[in-house]
């Protein structure tokens, strides 16, 4: 029997931060290491193109994201790892799927609807600033998922609707042309909590409160020193659960370390001490990957070679799958 296919796309729209790592990258890497599945992981650069339209930044993000995943241990021999724009079959399928997708489905997609609502509120034309890449974003995502007959699709909560759309579009095609596509399921990492940023709100690019995943050690300690605390002094008991520093610590420390840290809060540990410990556990986990990441950035050709090898595997598979799909539709 063929192994179940686990597929996920990583949009290359910025430099990854610790929140992305804890919430998305780390759980996906864990899943990729499970040998009972066939992992397919790709850089969704076409999906980035509707917002990143500066070629230099575009290239930089693709390289950084690829280098990041490789540095953190994604094994390109085990999983198929490629760049979406290296697989032209996806765009053929994108068009075929567009022809069985009702326009109303796109009108109801969250990202598009949010833009329309924002524009209406601001008194602008509802479609102001909306390009067709954004509007048809869910169809390309359905093509990503359906081309490879994916079984499971790990995503963040904001992407569930898109996976459901892929199912709807698959059903629409199956209904029109006969059983062709498997219906994919989304997988959500429920257990990971939202990592707070420097100001205590959710760590997010849009709040400018992030710590980059591969920040160099000195800068990392400086950023941690900036994290907001209350004004309690060393010796005064502190509440661990409401502390941003503790929430960060928890995600990187071992179970016994977490327990000890909780007691130290009760005993009134000083904030300066906690900041050193938070740095220690984060740095412990990321020191080796950071080194590898720098090596990849200094040798972009090595990253390109890996992506090119992955693209060959992906295209071979895509070609076979696509010919079956086209055949069904009479081509
Ligand atoms: P941002 O909010 O910085 O724009 P994205 O929306 O690009 O981040 O998120 C990419 C992935 O990282 C998603 O799967 C999301 O669930 C996860 N993620 C983002 N921020 C956090 C966070 N602070 N804590 C945990 N997971 C996060
Ligand atoms: N839309 C996803 C995001 O913004 C990225 C993505 C593109 C994706 N194609 C995919 C995720 C296919 C899973 C499967 O994060």
Q: Which atom of ligand 1 is nearest to the CA of 11?
A: 7
**What does the pLDDT read at residue 307?**
98
What pLDDT is recorded for position 282? Answer: 98
The upper half-sphere exposure of residue 318, i.e. CA atoms within 13 Å in the direction of its Cβ, equals: 23
What values do phi and psi take at 154, rounded to 5?
A: -70, 125
CA 19 / ligand 1 centre spacing (Å)? 6
Q: What is the mean pLDDT of the chain?
A: 95
Mean pLDDT, to the nearest integer, of 35-57? 96
Among 11, 17, 19, 202, say which to mutate for ligand 1: greatest number of ligand atoms within 8 Å of CB.
Answer: 19
Express each pLDDT in 96-130 by its tens digit.
999 999 999 999 999 999 999 999 999 999 999 99
pLDDT at 1 over 80: no
Tell me the pLDDT band of 206, cut-offs 50, 70 and 90. confident
Residue 190 in this model has a pLDDT that exceeds 80: no
Distance 46 CA to ligand 2 centre (A): 10
Q: Is the CB of 20 under 6 A from ligand 1?
A: yes
Alpha carbon of 224 to ligand 2 centroid (Å):
31
| pLDDT-above-90 percentage for the chain | 91
Residue 221 tokens read as 């300690």
Strand order in the sheet with 5-11: 80-83, 38-44, 5-11, 152-154, 185-187
CATH-assigned architecture of domain 5-193+299-328: 3-Layer(aba) Sandwich (3.40)
Maximum separation of any 2 CA atoms in the chain, in Å: 76
Three-state SS string over the chain comes to CCCCEEEEEEECCCCCEHHHHHHHHHHHHHHHCCCCCEEEEEEEHHHHCCCCCCHHHHHHHHHHHHHHHHHCCCCCCCCEEEEHHHCCHHHHHHHHHHCCCCHHHHHCCHHHHHHHHHHHHCCCCCCCCCCHHHHCHHHHHHHHHHHCCCCEEECCHHHHHHHHHHHHHHHHHHHHHCCCCCCCEEECCCCCCCCECCCCCECCHHHCCCCECCCCHHHHHHHHHCCCCCCCCCCCCCCCCCCHHHHHHHHHCCHHHHHHHHHHHHHCCCHHHHHHHHHHHHHHHHHHHHHHHHHHHHCHHHHHHHHHHHHHHHHHHHHHHHHHHHHHCCC
What percentage of the chain reaches a pLDDT higher than 70?
99
195, 209 Cβ separation under 8 angstroms? no
Res. 209: pLDDT tops 90? yes
Q: What are phi and psi of 258, to 5 degrees?
A: -65, -45
Q: What predicted TM-score, i.e. pTM, was given to this entire model?
A: 0.92
Of 91 and 32, the structure prediction assigns the larger pLDDT to 91
Statement: residue 219 has pLDDT above 70: yes
**Is 174 a residue whose pLDDT tops 70?**
yes
- What pLDDT was estimated at residue 46? 98
Tell which residue, 100, 98, 78, has the closest CA to residue 90: 98
Average pLDDT over residues 197-202: 94
Write down the pLDDT at residue 156. 83
Q: Tell me the pLDDT band of 218, cut-offs 50, 70 and 90.
A: very high
- Report how far ligand 2's centroid is from the alpha carbon of 106 (Å): 16
pLDDT, greater one: 22 or 164: 164
In the reported structure, the alpha carbon of residue 206 is separated from the centroid of ligand 1 by a whole-number distance in angstroms of 10
Is residue 78's pLDDT more than 90? yes
Ligand 1 contact via 206 beta carbon (within 6 Å): yes
Task: Name every protein residue with a CB atom under 6 angstroms from any ligand 2 atom.
Answer: 7-9, 11, 44, 47, 141, 144-145, 153, 155, 159, 162
pLDDT at residue 191 is higher than 80: no
Question: Which pLDDT does position 329 carry in this prediction?
Answer: 97
Closest residue by Cα to atom 4, ligand 2, is: 11
* Mean pLDDT, residues 184-200 taken together: 86
Angle in degrees, CA 53, 54, 56, rounded to 5: 140
Predicted local distance difference test score (pLDDT) of residue 189: 72
User: Can you tell me the distance from the alpha carbon of 16 to that of 68, in angstroms, rounded to the nearest whole number?
Assistant: 8
Could you please state the CATH topology (level 3) that the domain comprising 214-293 is classified under: Tyrosyl-Transfer RNA Synthetase (1.10.240)
Domain boundaries, the chain: 5-193+299-328, 214-293
Residue 165 to residue 144: CA distance in whole angstroms? 12
pLDDT in tens, 121-173: 999 999 999 999 999 999 999 999 999 999 999 988 889 999 999 999 999 99
CA–CA separation, 126 vs 202, rounded Å? 29
Q: Tell me, yes or no, if the two domains 5-193+299-328 and 214-293 fold the same way.
A: no
Q: Are 61 and 36 in contact (CB under 8 A)?
A: no
pLDDT at residue 192 tops 80: no
């Amino acid at each position: 029997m063929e192994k179940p296919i686990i597929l996920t796309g990583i949009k290359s729209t910025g430099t990854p931060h610790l929140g992305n790592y804890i919430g998305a990258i780390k759980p996906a890497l864990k899943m990729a290491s499970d040998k009972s599945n066939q992992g397919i992981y790709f850089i969704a650069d076409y999906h980035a193109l509707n917002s990143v339209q500066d070629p230099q930044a575009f290239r930089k993000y693709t390289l950084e994201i690829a280098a990041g995943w490789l540095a953190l241990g994604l094994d390109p021999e085990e999983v198929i790892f490629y760049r979406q724009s290296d697989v032209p079959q996806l765009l053929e399928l994108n068009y075929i799927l567009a022809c069985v997708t009702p326009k109303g489905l796109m009108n109801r997609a969250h990202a598009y609807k949010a833009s329309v609502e924002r524009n209406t509120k601001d008194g602008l034309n509802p479609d102001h600033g909306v390009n067709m890449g954004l509007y048809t974003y869910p169809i390309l995502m359905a093509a990503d998922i359906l081309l490879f007959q994916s079984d499971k699709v790990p995503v963040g909560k904001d992407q569930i609707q898109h996976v459901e759309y892929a199912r709807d579009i698959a059903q629409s095609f199956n209904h029109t042309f006969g059983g062709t596509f498997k219906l994919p399921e989304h997988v959500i990492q429920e257990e990971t909590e939202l990592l707070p940023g420097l100001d205590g709100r959710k760590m997010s690019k849009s709040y400018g409160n992030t710590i980059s995943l591969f920040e160099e050690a000195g800068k990392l300690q400086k950023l941690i020193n900036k994290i907001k605390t209350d004004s309690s002094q060393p010796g005064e008991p502190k509440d661990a659960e409401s502390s941003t520093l503790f929430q960060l610590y928890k995600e990187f420390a071992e179970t016994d370390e977490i327990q000890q840290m909780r007691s130290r809060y009760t005993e009134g540990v000083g904030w300066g001490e906690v900041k050193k410990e938070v740095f220690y556990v984060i740095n412990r986990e990321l020191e080796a990957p950071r080194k590898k990441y720098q090596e990849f950035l200094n040798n972009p050709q090595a990253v390109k070679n890996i992506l090119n090898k992955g693209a060959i595997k992906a295209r071979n598979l895509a070609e076979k799958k696509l010919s079956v799909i086209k055949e069904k539709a009479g081509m």
